[in-house]
A and B are shown apart, each in its own frame.
Chain A
Amino acid sequence: MALLKRPRSGPSGTTTTPPRGADVVVVGAGIVGAACADELSAAGLSTVVVERAGVGTGTTGAGEGNILVSDKEPGPELALALLSNALWRRIGEEVAGSPGAGIALEAKGGIVVATGDAELAALHRFADRQRAAGVVAEPLDPARARELEPYLTPDLAGAVHYPQDMQVQPVLAAATLLHRARARGARLVTGAEVVGLARDRDGRIAAVRTTAGDVATRYVVNAAGLGAPAVAALAGAHLPVQPRRGFILVTEPLPPMVHAKVYDADYVSNVASDDSGLRTSTVVEATDGGTILIGASRERVGLDPGFRVDVLARLAQQAIRLFPALAGVRAIRAYRGFRPYLPDHLPVIGAEPAVPGLLHAAGHEGAGIGLAPATGRLIRQLVTGEEPALDPAPFRPDRPALRPSGVPA
């Protein structure tokens, strides 16, 4: 007798062979594919998710679970983040009751720390603009900041508190969203790679070819993360998603020491960086397992699998600068992931104009966990023709910044 049964097949299960047909096929079972399947199945569409490896084993399994509004400048990404924030909160409540299906959602808030006066002034200006766009941002004087975070360095000029910031456990979240999609009839096919997109005489998507069989469908959602360009290319479309490497340090489990997500105000300038060199800016946060995550670096080095000790050293230095007591705490693990990014640092969410029936949901860079539910919502609305919850134009696949000529050399 097998001790562990394979996942149940049938209407609520997973299979290794796809069904013959579906309304929509989602490519990729990362957080973005999971959120899309959740929304599409909720709209009553029969949905099949095809994943070449396992649930959350792409970038989703290598990310932290920060759901941040604090790091975003007013603009389309912040609008998406605010919608997502509300959706994550709702999802958290909905799944909290089901046994074992929690997603470890913690609405713990973020604290952005400025160590110098000039930095603090810049941070306050940034927060003012965010407030105008609907973000809750509360200035903290050093004493108040250290009341909230007693281990914080005494060397700080001031801070801003962002109570909307949250976190989830990314893989648990992806698996849980897929679980509820499956409960609505969606199918998850793991260990099957999408290798072809068949089109009808009008050029419209007609079927998806996978290594485990074909699925007839009218819609394909390309949520393949770093694999999204290859999936787009199956239909002759161009999608310039590229990897941006990041390292994270994990400490031994500790008694509660860091409460919110705490990071340096220089983070904001790093996120939007176009510099291909190394960037680090530390977000320090505790997980529900008691460990502290210190992340993350940003480097454009292709898919170089190496680990760089000097990069880990930078992360450790910055974390210790914020929390001096961390110097005596042991790191037990480091891990690495590759963020899928696009040249203008915005995801693509929308229909590929050249290929009717093909939609992209990819390129969320370092914010895919946070932005996933709103991405799923937009995709669903684009498929069903409902009124979109926010303006999808900035995320269009055919925006100028993504044209082959628009790609910087």
Chain B
Amino acid sequence: MTGRPELPGELRSAAAHERAGTAPGEPFEIGYGQARIPALPGETFGAALTAAGVRSWRRTRFGGRPRGLFCGIGACFDCLLPVNGGPPVRACLTEAAPGDTAAPPEAPLPRPAAPPPADDPGPPRGYDVAVVGAGPAGLAAALAAADRGQRVVLVDAGARPGGQYHRQPPRPFGARRPEALQPDGTARAAEAALTAHPLVTLHSGESVWAAEPAADGFTLHLTGGGAVRVRAVVVATGAHDLALPFPGWDLPGVFTAGGAQALVKGQLTLPGRRVVVAGTGPLLLPVAATLAEAGATVLGVFDANHPARWLRRLPAALGHAGRLREAAHYLRILRRHRIPVRYRRAVVAAHGGSGVEAVTLARLAPDWTPLPGARHRRRLAADAVAVGFGFVAGVELPLALGCATVPDPAGLPVVVTDHSGRTSVAGVYAAGEVTGVGGARLAAVEGELAGRAVAADLAATGPAPATGADARLRRRRARLRRFAAALAEVYPVRPGWRGWLDGDTLVCRCEEVPLSRIRHAVEDLAATEPRAVKLTTRAGMGMCQGRICGPALATLLAAGSGAGPGVDATPLAGRPIVAPVPLGTVAAAARPPDPGRGDHGLDSPAR
């Protein structure tokens, strides 16, 4: 190892630090109840606690169940942690600072106290285009629009631009090769280009909590206070992991696949030492590879589907040499680490007291029903599980703006666009996973198309002439979409997962609603509609607002045989408050005075 200071804690990955070429600052201590735990500058509370061997820092309200990190990206709210006597924050997102003290579960919950009055956010600032989300799609859209003369405000909830695919370690880690964990330097290049661009204003670490139409455009309200007024919006809010319940899925140590990936790529910290990777889909291979390269013992990759289905889809796969090479690259890494890859297997239970100690693997029938008999089950000692079944698009903003959606192959709503990202609402564009799962490359192509389209629409009064470059991008998009459709067919969610559950399995983690209570609502109280079930059981009414349980709940209630046609999770997907926001900030969002045409050149969008 180089001259880097010793990293405190076993789960901080020396290998990942080495590969990224970090030069972290001096570790400092934060308080955790009576204990002191080390943290690196730039680290989140979640990573520091995990590295210190603390897997759980919260007990649930009703059942006193231990909770810690799960989704890793701010979607699930399992990781809530009271800091410095204030309201609980999401430990996966919140950076620790010297002198901070976090409260352990036994501490009484902090009493709400009036915060000091916030600074007056001032009148809304005017721009031409707001891009929401700085993943591959949003980065490409912002640059494409700004390069064509539009004043762009880019709002992203992450601490640093990049989104999920291009997640970078925090700046204070001083990584010389931040892209080493994701062999693609796009994010750093894009970040540099954005920062240097005179027409781009970047708001990192802030969410849009509400969006509404305004005269000649839209008003977006920001969690940091204040609002922006724009003529057009590009929604590039990405997705979060699709999680399906199984007994023990809420034990600390169970992560979503993307969440485990985010912890390693973003914080260079391992979710555990002995990790099982399970679920289905193309993300499982890179997640296992990242974990293994960062020093975890990956006990296996267990996909509930079977790749034989690929044979039938071969024509769609051909012509995607890049994607196939990428998969081969990950498989080589897994082989090097002697990691088995098995199909028609699933983690059907996680066991442990305060965190995962073991999992039960089961062989599955083609519809994912566990095969009967003990010989088809195996117990494996593990301290972490990374499990993912695909992605759930972040459609709250487009729904709030009235954009049309369609159910994707899993029944989850995605935004409908034309080939250039125009949604059904004039002035609103969408790109990336929010329009359907398709991976980072497709997201970037769609972002660029949307950025070009918004610039052309705002500049022109008639239809914009398509250039040769536009046509090439559209062809690429069409090709990548065909590939995405093939992937969706190879990695469907099959209804047999419902057979993994027992009556006590929580379906809604936030409100601790077990399957038995949902059964009672449906069978005894005749609450058959998704909304009626929600209102009678509280499933989906907790902090995450059904982001995690909504898709599973929709599948459970579907009249047909489960996922696929018949499931429509759209009724559970609308959230006019897109991100939790202090009431003080809501109170300050009184009707914004119109910045007016004169000041900002606001004009009606051309479409």
Contacts and interface: CB of A to CB of B under 8 A. Distances in A.
A binds B: yes
B584 A310 contact: no
Interface in B581-600: 581-584, 586-591
Nearest to B519: A4
A56 B532 CA distance: 6
A54 B527 contact: yes
A163 interface: no
Interface string A54-66: 1111000100000
Contacts of A14: 526
A268 interface: no
B532 A175 contact: yes
Interface in A127-186: 151, 169-172, 175-176, 178-179, 182
Contacts of B587: 313, 316-317, 320, 327
A257 to B, nearest CB: 6
Interface stretch (B128-136, B286-294, B376-384, B539-547): B539-547
A289 interface: yes
B505 to A, nearest CB: 11
Nearest to B497: A3
Contact of B535 (A171, A325, A331): A171
Contacts of A178: 525-526
Contacts of A390: none
A316 B532 contact: no
Nearest to B213: A306
Nearest to A16: B528
B575 interface: yes
Contacts of A61: 531-532, 535
Given A56-B535, A289-B538, A309 B543 contact: no
Interface string A377-391: 000000000000000
B532 A328 contact: no
Contacts of A251: 583
Contact of A7 (B499, B526, B584): B526
Interface in B21-73: 61
B501 interface: yes
Interface residues of A, number: 65
B212 A307 contact: yes
A86 interface: no
B471 interface: no
Contacts of B511: 289
A332 B519 contact: no
B400 interface: yes
A316 B501 CA distance: 40
B109 interface: yes
B115 A331 contact: no
B589 A310 contact: yes
Given A4-B557, A334-B576, A254 B112 contact: yes
B541 A289 contact: yes
Given A309-B589, A310-B589, A331-B577, A4 B112 contact: no
A233 interface: no
Given A55-B532, A56-B535, A7 B583 contact: no
A234 interface: no
Contacts of A254: 109, 112
Interface in B384-400: 400
B586 A55 contact: no
B580 A55 contact: no
A3 B558 CA distance: 10
A56 B537 CA distance: 13
A5 interface: yes
A100 B580 contact: no
B109 A56 contact: no
A111 to B, nearest CB: 19
B277 to A, nearest CB: 26
Given A3-B501, A4-B522, A326-B112, A54 B589 contact: no
B103 to A, nearest CB: 13
B113 A5 contact: no
A330 B580 contact: yes
A333 B517 CA distance: 23
Contacts of A290: 61
B525 A175 contact: yes
B532 A4 contact: no
B242 interface: no
A254 B590 CA distance: 25
Contacts of B374: none
A276 to B, nearest CB: 18
B518 interface: yes
Contacts of B589: 309-310, 312-313
Interface in A253-285: 253-255, 257
A330 B581 contact: yes
A53 B584 CA distance: 37
A42 B304 CA distance: 52
Contacts of A309: 210, 212, 219, 221, 586, 589, 591
Contacts of B529: 53-55, 57, 190
A331 B61 contact: no
A188 B526 contact: yes
Contacts of B257: none
A254 to B, nearest CB: 6
B582 A7 contact: no
A5 to B, nearest CB: 5
Contacts of A201: none
Contacts of A253: 61, 542-543
Interface string B542-571: 110100000000001101000000000000
B86 interface: yes
B114 interface: yes
Nearest to A319: B583
Contact of B212 (A7, A188, A252, A306): A306
A395 B591 CA distance: 39
Contact of B586 (A8, A56, A291, A313): A313
B523 interface: yes
Contacts of B527: 54-56, 171, 175
Given A175-B532, A306-B212, A313-B587, A5 B219 contact: no
Contacts of B536: 55-56, 169, 171-172, 175
Contacts of A328: 86-87, 112-115, 582-584
A307 B210 contact: yes
A121 interface: no
A213 B297 CA distance: 62
A215 to B, nearest CB: 18
Contacts of B501: 3
16 contacts: A5-B519, A54-B527, A54-B528, A172-B525, A175-B532, A182-B526, A306-B212, A308-B212, A309-B221, A310-B589, A317-B587, A328-B115, A330-B580, A330-B582, A332-B543, A333-B545
Given A4-B518, A313-B590, 4 more contacts: A56-B535, A56-B536, A101-B525, A254-B109
The 8 closest A-B pairs by CB, nearest first: A54-B529, A327-B584, A171-B535, A310-B591, A175-B525, A316-B587, A316-B586, A328-B115
